[in-house]
Structure 1
Amino acid sequence: MSRRSLHTPAPDAAALRARLDRARDAASDAGTDALLIAPGSDLRYLIGQAVGSFERLTALVVPASGAAPALVLPKLEAPGYTDVPTDDLGVDVLTWVDGDDPYALVAGRLGKPGRVAVSDTMAALHVLGLRDAIGSAEQTLAGPVIRELRMRKDAAEIAALRTAGAAIDRVHARMGEWLRPGRTEAEVGADIAAAIVAEGHTEAEFVIVGSGPNGASPHHDVSGRVIENGDVVVIDIGGPIAEGYNSDSTRTYAVGQPRDADVAGTYEVLRRAQRAAVEAVRPGATAQDIDAAARTIIAEAGFGEYFIHRTGHGIGLDVHEEPYIVGGNDLVLEPGMAFSVEPGIYQPGRWGARIEDIVVVTSDGMEPLNNRPHELVVLGS
């Protein structure tokens, strides 16, 4: 009967109240009568924490105007929200028990809306239950509204991301303790996961150890493959710190001298591409400009077909969030936007490489949140 809590140290009440006010304004500007926010990172952003609701509805009802926001939740889940300063936030708490109709409770709070926006990740069970309860109201996604707030990090959020970046850098600095011939990817991954927690994270959200040909799969996990001398190994790792904000950093290593003669030259192309993309980050540039800065160098060197993903993704309370650094995205970068810059070159059946840093757009450029060397690190040589 346990429920995983996304309980983290929350911003102060004034900061949360300001977020709620901005959410109401954003909903109004979008022509939406109310936001219906399910447990998850959006709810954590707005009130400081969230507890999973599963088959029982929990939702923050945020009217664009009129009635105060209301947190609708099962009475049995209420203890998980006792630290939320609802009085200071001006949020009413409406509880229900098994046998009640929570969807009717939400509908009663809304009156007769013409358009409501539901969380992108709200379970279909609840989306359909709310649809039936609110009748003819149009349902849209809340993501386009909330992302406009979450893309622009405030000073406290940037400080948390800075702390997370330094913590994951400390893990990369220790890679020589674990990465050596004769060990499996899974064995190395387990050591890395423990170190991620030891160095200041609450958990290891993901650990990729892609050795040899497995490094050519960008989202490889770990496997029973035994690491061999001469392997190139992609290590992509990250997780949340106590405040809920995430790290995400990739470095590529060689276990002994690389066996393939083309590693040094190809890796240098990647290093130049990543550096060019990072240096292109500034207010006024577009997301697609950053992608193009990396992609052009890789393509001109003849490796364009081996760069098979976007150059980056936003990061914060989620590992992947807006803005996405990809061709076709003409979003203009603004101070406070935080995202990865992570081009890669992947040669199927042979080896792959990726370099990833998190950067934050500043008033006149960018701040890197990862500061480990970008050169190919040769271990055991």
Structure 2
Amino acid sequence: MEELVMTVGVLATEFERRLARTREQMKKAGIDALFVYSDEYHPGYSFYYTNFRTINCIEESAHALFIPLEGEIQAFLGNLNRFAAKRFSWIKNVNSIYEMEALLPKYVSELTYEVKTVGVVGEELFPISLYRDMEKAFVKDGINIIDAGQIVVQERLYKSKAELDLIRKAGKLADDSILAALEQLQIGKTEIELSAIGEYVTRSHGGEIGSAYLVVSGPDHTNLPTWRPMERNIEHGDYVWFDFNPMVDGYCSDTGITVAMEGVTEEQIRIMNFAYDTNQRMVEFIKPGITGKQLFQETLRICENAGLADYFLPYTKGMRAIGHGVGLEVVETPDLGPNSDFVFEPNMCFGIKFDLHGFPFGGVRVEPTVIITENGAEPVNDLRGMRAKYESNFK
């Protein structure tokens, strides 16, 4: 396996550019300050401005930022995470999240301009108790609180060269981790064992786990659109799919492939081939200016022509029907699906997912991470190459 060397790819100078662009958007929206909230499980909003990701339980991993139009940013964290933040974060003004009700009015009063409106980013992530503390701190001074999530969402959609290079590294690490698990894939291995092999390769090559490393097999597990690896033994005639999500210096990939064990039927091979072919056609269909809805309609057309829409449509309801944004989190906005008016543009990054479920023998998943370029979509994974190596060398 080729050695993958990890290096820090996003410098503090990029933080300064991010902050300047964000403040420009704040001015346009008439917002005097932002209050940004994240936690360990959804770190992106705060990580984007700090290069720091908290750990531990929800209460302890709180990570909030007070970003004024002018002046210094103040960070608010759980008590234990404050110590690491003072050492590693780009933001050196570190406070306890449990003191923000008292401290926020103080920081507002020290500004050289009047604060009338505060925009909240990450409102959907806030624990109610912490939201109330923040709300009381601002409302008692007559400050208006509005939702400003789209300011940071839009900023994060467009990746810099440094960010895209890290996503490419994360994609390469996903491939290496899956290949290592495929080398050990055989009848009798458990899903848990194979997941652990992938996690070991990711961590031993300097990466982190962006989300759960899923290895599922057999009809019962692969017919579930999401499930965890268990002590199930791989069996003759199984589908086995791998969904690995490494993180490199904070940036993720989302990579899924399906392979077939010895003893699968011709029908299973046909369905698996169809999934790989359809996903490739989805990636080739993407161009700047295309909407998520158009991509969904094209995917549905392919399934209908093949008589397989009934195995596709039920699993496209709600979020992440055929894909989603990828970046500081494995799953970011926007969702790509039947109602998505989102327009693909260069320097954005997505997981492009194709699932079929409901067959007596199980279901399949194929999902590369892609970067949108001026000409189309660039996959950062080699899904067909991994499948071919397994079928020629490991099977």
Interval containing the TM-score (normalised by the shorter chain): 0.7 to 0.9
- Residue 224 of structure 1 aligns with an amino acid whose one-letter code is E
Cα deviation, residue 176, structure 1: 3.4
Cα deviation, residue 55, structure 1: 5.7
Alignment map for 1:159-198 (pairs within 5 Å) = 159-198=165-204
Contact 1:256-1:378 within 8 A present in 2 as well: no
The equivalent residue for 1:220 is 227
Cα deviation, residue 329, structure 1: 1.3
Secondary structure in 2 aligned to 1:153? coil
- Residue 294 of structure 1 aligns with an amino acid whose one-letter code is T
Distance of 1:72 and 1:185 partners within structure 2: 40
- Residue 262 of structure 1 aligns with an amino acid whose one-letter code is E
Change (3 A) 1:67 1:123: same
Gaps of 5+ in 1: 1-7, 87-91
Contact 2:49-2:90 within 8 A present in 1 as well: no
The equivalent residue for 2:4 is none
- 1:250 to 2:256 alignment: yes
Secondary structure in 2 aligned to 1:166? helix
Distance of 2:154 and 2:183 partners within structure 1: 42
* 2:242 counterpart (220, 231, 235): 235
Secondary structure in 1 aligned to 2:242? strand
- Residue 373 of structure 1 aligns with an amino acid whose one-letter code is R
What CA deviation, in whole Å up to 9, does each residue of 1:317-370 have, x standing for no partner?
A: 100002322221112111110001111111155311111111101122221100
- Residue 381 of structure 2 aligns with an amino acid whose one-letter code is N
- 1:306 to 2:311 alignment: yes
* 2:52 counterpart (49, 53, 58): 49
The equivalent residue for 1:329 is 340
Change (3 A) 1:108 1:347: same
Gaps of 5+ in 2: 1-6, 110-114
Change (3 A) 1:227 1:61: same
The equivalent residue for 1:158 is 164
The equivalent residue for 1:270 is 275
TM-score, structure 1 normalization: 0.86
Between 1:124-133 and 1:36-45, the stretch displaced more is: 36-45
Between 1:155-164 and 1:167-176, the stretch displaced more is: 167-176
Distance of 2:308 and 2:97 partners within structure 1: 59
Distance of 1:254 and 1:248 partners within structure 2: 21
Distance of 2:328 and 2:310 partners within structure 1: 32
Between 1:341-350 and 1:209-218, the stretch displaced more is: 341-350
Distance of 1:169 and 1:75 partners within structure 2: 37
Distance of 1:202 and 1:320 partners within structure 2: 15
Count of residues in correspondence between the two structures: 364
Between 1:36-45 and 1:244-253, the stretch displaced more is: 36-45
* 1:129 counterpart (113, 127, 133): 133
The equivalent residue for 1:352 is 363
Cα deviation, residue 147, structure 1: 0.7
Change (3 A) 1:261 1:94: closer
Cα deviation, residue 18, structure 1: 0.9
* 1:70 counterpart (71, 74, 88): 74
Between 1:370-379 and 1:360-369, the stretch displaced more is: 370-379
Distance of 2:23 and 2:210 partners within structure 1: 34
Distance of 1:78 and 1:177 partners within structure 2: 41
TM-score, structure 2 normalization: 0.83
Distance of 2:97 and 2:126 partners within structure 1: 20
Cα deviation, residue 54, structure 1: 3.1
Contact 1:26-1:145 within 8 A present in 2 as well: yes
Alignment map for 1:7-46 (pairs within 5 Å) = 9=8, 11-39=10-38, 40-46=43-49
Distance of 1:197 and 1:55 partners within structure 2: 24
- Residue 246 of structure 2 aligns with an amino acid whose one-letter code is G
The equivalent residue for 1:114 is 117
Contact 1:202-1:240 within 8 A present in 2 as well: yes
Change (3 A) 1:60 1:267: same
Change (3 A) 1:144 1:263: same
Distance of 1:347 and 1:305 partners within structure 2: 9
Between 1:75-84 and 1:329-338, the stretch displaced more is: 75-84
* 1:286 counterpart (277, 287, 291): 291
What CA deviation, in whole Å up to 9, does each residue of 1:144-201 have, x standing for no partner?
A: 2211011111000000001111111112333432211112222222222222323442
Contact 1:273-1:293 within 8 A present in 2 as well: no
Contact 1:245-1:316 within 8 A present in 2 as well: yes
What CA deviation, in whole Å up to 9, does each residue of 1:183-241 have, x standing for no partner?
A: 22222222222223234422363221221111111211112222111111111112212
Distance of 2:192 and 2:96 partners within structure 1: 45
Change (3 A) 1:33 1:219: same
- Residue 311 of structure 2 aligns with an amino acid whose one-letter code is Y
* Structure with greater proportional helix content: 2
The equivalent residue for 1:93 is 93
Change (3 A) 1:162 1:286: same
The equivalent residue for 1:3 is none
Q: Identity over the aligned pairs, expressed in percent?
A: 25
